[in-house]
Structure 1
Amino acid sequence: MAKNNRSRKRDAEYEPLDVERLTTGFRRTEVRNGREWTVQPISALNANKTYTCPGCSLMIQEGVAHLVAWRNDGILGDQADVEARRHWHQACWKMS
């Protein structure tokens, strides 16, 4: 009889894929115009409010996938940077 090399312990530690995390994307750091920004994609399912895009001054409607970006090298500290975050259309962020 063939030996089963499959680890029983590995089965016990199995975690299902977090589909929401895969579809929304991952937080990342980008450098633009010499400044460091944190960029977080927001999926259409998680877009629960309407925002004004600073790139085009048009509305990002509820249910529209977009990005949230904030500086992470501001002189007033991390909390002030997060409070100053802005919601962008994906295309507007790419052109900024």
Structure 2
Amino acid sequence: MPRSNRPRRPGKPSAQPGRKAAPVPEIDLERARAGIPTRESAPDGEWSVRRITERNAAKDYVCPGCHRVIPPGLAHLVVWQEDSLFGAAAGLAGRRHWHVNCWRTRSYRY
């Protein structure tokens, strides 16, 4: 008996003419942009600022600007100094979570 060359398992949707392709999930641009830190220059140095969305905020943090708790589910910023005196790794290790408004309205104390 000759061998059948037809696959026994369903193949790719595009390979079968009668089937429709699976819907492509929509890209969440806000989530994609949230992971990319931006650089900000200030009189006290260069800072990297990363937005944390409500979806990704899972723990309690204390804001260094107002000393209040940032609860889970609240959008906020993670900020670290790029030009730290002890190097970039030390700046990243010293990152802090800020309320968006506290970071925007912070006063520079020199």
Instruction: Give TM-score scaled by structure 1 length.
Output: 0.76
The TM-score, its normalising length taken from structure 2, stands at 0.67
Which of the pair has the greater relative contact order for Cα pairs under 8 Å at 6+ separation?
Answer: 1
Cα distance per residue 1:41-94 (max 9 Å; x no partner): 000000011100000000000110000000000121111100000000000000
1:38 and 2:53 equivalent?
Answer: no
Within the alignment, does 1:69 sit opposite 2:69 as a pair?
A: no
Post-superposition Cα deviations, 1:6-58, rounded to whole Å, max 9, x if no partner, equal xxxxxxxxxx6343214x37410001224100000000000011100000000
2:60 paired residue among 50, 56, 67: 50
- Structure showing the higher helix proportion among its residues: 1
> Residue 32 of structure 2 is aligned with which of 12, 15, 21?
21
Tell me how large the CA RMSD over aligned residues is. Answer: 1.6
**Over alpha carbons, which structure has the higher Rg?**
2
Structure 1 residue runs of 4+, over 4 Å off? none
Alignment: residue pair count:
80
